[in-house]
Homo-oligomer: A and B are copies of this chain.
């Protein structure tokens, strides 16, 4: 019987693209986290410059604008000594009517070694990965509502850093689950790494009903959702994505699902609070919590550079 191979892995089961966390074996997630750890020096949380991608060309293809995420990939690639090319896609040939695949074929012919792709359309990085030469690697930097795997991985790095063992944890993901590729990537990663209790918390309009089938506990009550949690992952309320009918108001949301010190007191005493950023103070999170002693939001950013370096260096070492 033939099994359709995971397009992210070569026939030796090695990672050649990072498109989604879904379906990646636990050993590969752990390889990425271990490699990231080796890039961070314990004492200083400082990443040193390494020659692992010297002479390689990394193209940042952001069809959907995100200066913050693009910057983290740019820094990660430069720390690995790669040449980084930022493409302002809105102004490029795609604007002249060239197809996505023609653009990719042309950039590949310019000797690209890696594409970091953000696209508003779910699946775009897959399409690209199917059409590149064997030595070219694709990293999904966020596609539609589908996946944001490097964010998921840096979240796992952060949890492991503070909690060590995944198999005893209760993790709550709070907010706009339905629009969140971060939530989706986190859930897959947490499940693969053996987290026994994953909760998604939010109003009915923002939490997909089918998550229960994935073994996730759906909570529409905030107190129930975060009570006893070891880890609380707050999601950004994407005002710009919503029609308006899904939510009464930002103030109303904060009252019900915003993370305040009072609500945080329901979680474990040593709970950590995470957020993919940028945070909306007073919307999904109170300033006292964002800046408080439970918050690990800024360490997430630091770990994110190391995790992206890890992913880039691992895929660059493998061929299709």
| Interface set of A (CB-CB < 8 Å, partner B) | 46-49, 54-55, 57, 65, 67-68, 71-72, 74-75, 78-79, 83, 85, 87-89, 91-93, 96-99, 102-103, 105-111, 240, 277-281, 298-302, 304-305
Contact = CB atoms under 8 A, between A and B. Distances in A.
Contacts of A75: 57, 83, 85, 110-111
A91 B110 contact: no
A67 B48 contact: no
B301 A110 contact: yes
A98 B75 CA distance: 21
Contacts of A107: 71
A280 to B, nearest CB: 7
A102 B280 CA distance: 10
Q: By DSSP majority rule, is chain A's interface helix, strand, loop, or mixed?
A: helix
14 contacts: A48-B55, A49-B55, A49-B83, A71-B85, A72-B110, A75-B110, A93-B277, A93-B278, A96-B278, A106-B301, A109-B298, A110-B304, A111-B302, A111-B305
Closest 4 CB pairs of A and B: A67-B92, A109-B301, A49-B55, A98-B278
A75 B72 CA distance: 21
A277 B83 CA distance: 24
A96 B218 CA distance: 29
A99 to B, nearest CB: 8
Contacts of A49: 54-55, 83
Contacts of A93: 67-68, 277-278
Contact of A298 (B55, B105, B240): B105
A85 B92 contact: no
Nearest to A299: B109
A37 B255 CA distance: 60
Nearest to A306: B111
A71 B299 CA distance: 31
Contact of A67 (B55, B91, B109, B280): B91
Given A279-B102, A298-B109, A74 B85 contact: yes
A286 to B, nearest CB: 14
A98 B88 CA distance: 23
A226 B193 CA distance: 62
A88 B110 contact: no
B46 A106 contact: no
B46 A305 contact: no
A98 B278 CA distance: 7
Nearest to A88: B67
Contact of A92 (B68, B72, B99, B300): B68
Nearest to A301: B109
A65 to B, nearest CB: 6
Contacts of A298: 105-106, 108-109
A90 B252 CA distance: 29
Contacts of A92: 67-68
A27 to B, nearest CB: 28
